[in-house]
Amino acid sequence: MSTATTGNGHRQAVLPATNDAKVVTIKAPNFQVAEFKLVGTAPLVVNKFSQKAREQIMKTQSEGKQSRGKKVREPKDFDAVYKGAFHVSSEGWYGFPAGGFKAALVRACSVTDMKMTVSKMALFIEADGIDADEGTPLVKINGTPKKHEGYARNDDGSVDIRVRPLWAKWTINLRVRYDGDMLSLESVANLVSRAGLQVGIGEGRPFSKNSTGMGWGTFAIEGKQ
């Protein structure tokens, strides 16, 4: 050990150099893209949080508590509700949030040996476009929607009629970008299959926080049932 004089006149110990320092080698990302044609095995029902609903909530919150008690319930425009439930891309086609598919894949990891927290860094969905008014990345839904009218029970116990777009027959070309050092193509395909069978997407899917689902939103990879 030796000593050295600092700028303020004090002396401090200088430790001898060692050869114990380790160099960390980090590999370049090895991401691959896999494309799957998904075929709906049950109807797909979607629901977007519409611009009108957002505006109504903002108005209520800005008015404060006094205005809430004097609020008059407005007639429900079911056609407007139906139209507002679609995700429409800037090109005009109907889509489903890409993040919803990633959430399904991550959730499906819970029945595998892969940790859900790790899968968030290993799997990504490539979008086909974005929602025209809120910028949400979307994947394109192929098929013809129709208006579905169903009932639901509100938090206060009252029954409400919900109007949503429903695709009885639908397909989606899904592109999954994945870490090739963490997952094989076969594993990604199997995970997509599990997500379609055990998790689902959209309203009434099998794995839902609020219920056991309506049997909607399930899918399979074409040719891999």
pLDDT tens digit string along 109-128? 999 999 999 999 999 999 99
Which residues is 199 bridged to in the sheet? none
Q: Alpha-carbon distance 185 to 187, whole Å?
A: 5
- Where residue 212 falls among pLDDT bands split at 50, 70, 90? confident
Three-state secondary-structure class, residue 161:
strand
* Other Cβ atoms closer than 10 A to 100: 19
Residue 96 lies in a domain: yes
% of the chain residues with pLDDT over 70: 80
Q: Alpha-carbon distance 153 to 66, whole Å?
A: 27
Token pair of 178 as six digits: 């994945």
- Where residue 67 falls among pLDDT bands split at 50, 70, 90? low
Res 34 pLDDT > 80: yes
- Where residue 16 falls among pLDDT bands split at 50, 70, 90? low
Instruction: Say what the pTM is.
Output: 0.80
Q: 172 CB contacts (<8 Å, ≥6 apart)?
A: 37, 38, 96, 139, 140, 141, 142, 219
Residue 53 lies in a domain: no
Q: Alpha-carbon distance 153 to 149, whole Å?
A: 14
Residue 124 lies in a domain: yes
Domain that holds residue 121: 29-48+85-221
Q: Alpha-carbon distance 161 to 150, whole Å?
A: 6
Tell me how far the alpha carbon of residue 180 is from its chain's centroid: 22
Name the domain count of the chain.
1
Beta pairing class for 11-14 and 2-5 = antiparallel
Residue 157 lies in a domain: yes
Residue 23 lies in a domain: no
